[in-house]
Structure 1
């Protein structure tokens, strides 16, 4: 419950208001715009500007009618669970991300259901080599049949049908790619790409170190969350591909990093390619 005290007698400057909002968020986690107007004695428009500024800096996340603190992700769902989450957003992101892949490229596809959704878009491409740590992606590539594929091996993570850890990272570090497409279960301007698993971080950082261009693919529902282990700062990416539901404040914060932000429109049912099997 929001603390009950009178609004300040003298107007606060924006930085003071935003610091007060953050202190109250650390107490209550979620606050409505109405609660904040009562708390600070300012207009709805002023509060919305403050929320946008906090989100721009990655300090808070706007929600319908209010604001919340970034959430801490302690575990990731299994591959089966991920395959049922945000499928429409993932399809649109995959379709847009696939336009960055050109013939004759060597591409790393990080493990994940969004990267898996990219594979059907590669049908008809020529001269591609795809490197991955994802067994489901290998299965899909096999169904296409005309793409050279390399699986990097390593410690098997059964729940996500992928490989992780130092052996996978060491193999990947010996390969050079034109484009690395990285997935994320949690991401934000403030924390970058994070993971609850240090063994996944090893692979993501190895992929970044050996590529000419790095692209993040992650839906907006994961934005503003963070996990224990930091992997890649957002400024390290060439491009970030997400969906159009990303808030304006978050989008502004990303663009200020100098990173190309690509916002995917919803994919119409008639435009969908063959659904991946994983």
Structure 2
């Protein structure tokens, strides 16, 4: 493995497991402890990770998102449940926005099963390709600058198109969110699109599993109280749940006692 390949492996592993020891990484990649220490130091210097005793963890300040294919494999069961719950909030005839991402794709899968006539707008090519032959869906793609890593369109062209629309319900994805920084991203082009969709939509729903909570990126998108709803898994800690409800946000948790309706503020 080349150094860049090892760095990518470590970064992907940490997105899945949060922390890793030097021993674990050395065994997984079949390299020496000294090689792993050098790799970790290099990634620390880039601000991607934090060295801890005997190992490494992700930095809360997210510097780079994972490519689409790798994100699709992470926390897949949570994403499926979030997608199922999200689709229950949609009514026939509505104009829906599906943000780029693997959690949004799970929403698309459940929308396709419902067979209610809706209009779907997306900047995601995988979602667009999946929904293209569904006769009950009126489909729009934003166009714009192509982000190859995430198979979507970003930047001002996509954002400007969204600002011409009146959208009933937007499902917004993110790789980083918390109470202090709100929604954020390490990529400017994504921030432009997400800001536009928040402006253009009546109901603004964050769809994100709990592993992304507590991270933040360089580019601020919005404060959490600008959202109407958040759909998450029930691994979100109780204090955070309470703080989110105190903001007046409708919080819907998968596998909750109240069932598919989730929890409401």
Identify whether the pair has TM-score above 0.5, normalized to the shorter chain.
yes
Q: Is 1:103 matched up with 2:92?
A: yes
Separation of aligned partners in 2, 1:203 and 1:231: 9
1:70: Cα distance to partner? 7.6
Contact 1:177 1:211 in 2 (8 A): yes
Separation of aligned partners in 2, 1:114 and 1:236: 21
Alignment size in residue pairs: 200
1:189: Cα distance to partner? 0.9
Tell me what 1:141 maps to. 131
Aligned CA distance change for structure 1 residues 252 and 126 (closer, same or farther; 3 Å): same
Match of 1:89 among 75, 78, 84: 78
Separation of aligned partners in 2, 1:242 and 1:94: 10
Match of 1:258 among 236, 248, 251: 248
Aligned CA distance change for structure 1 residues 70 and 260 (closer, same or farther; 3 Å): farther
1:127: Cα distance to partner? 2.4
1:82-133 C-alpha deviation (Å, 9 max, x unpaired): 0111101101111111111110000011001001011121123332000000
For structure 2, the residue ranges without an aligned partner over 5 or more in a row are 1-18, 20-56, 257-265
Separation of aligned partners in 1, 2:67 and 2:207: 18
For structure 1, the residue ranges without an aligned partner over 5 or more in a row are 1-29, 31-67, 267-278
Match of 2:146 among 138, 152, 156: 156
Separation of aligned partners in 1, 2:114 and 2:159: 30
Contact 1:182 1:217 in 2 (8 A): yes
Cα RMSD after superposing both structures: 1.7
1:143: Cα distance to partner? 4.2
Tell me what 1:245 maps to. 235
Match of 1:75 among 46, 64, 68: 64
Contact 1:70 1:224 in 2 (8 A): no
Q: Secondary structure at the match of 1:138?
A: helix
Q: Which runs of 4+ in 1 moved over 3 A?
A: none
Match of 1:234 among 209, 219, 224: 224
1:29-82 C-alpha deviation (Å, 9 max, x unpaired): x9xxxxxxxxxxxxxxxxxxxxxxxxxxxxxxxxxxxxx998111000000110
Aligned CA distance change for structure 1 residues 70 and 233 (closer, same or farther; 3 Å): farther
Q: Secondary structure at the match of 1:144?
A: coil
Separation of aligned partners in 2, 1:158 and 1:235: 31
Q: Secondary structure at the match of 2:177?
A: strand
Separation of aligned partners in 2, 1:235 and 1:125: 32
Tell me what 1:46 maps to. none
1:211: Cα distance to partner? 1.0
Separation of aligned partners in 2, 1:194 and 1:121: 27
Tell me what 2:169 maps to. 179
Separation of aligned partners in 2, 1:108 and 1:225: 24
Separation of aligned partners in 2, 1:214 and 1:70: 28
Separation of aligned partners in 2, 1:69 and 1:146: 42
1:146: Cα distance to partner? 2.3
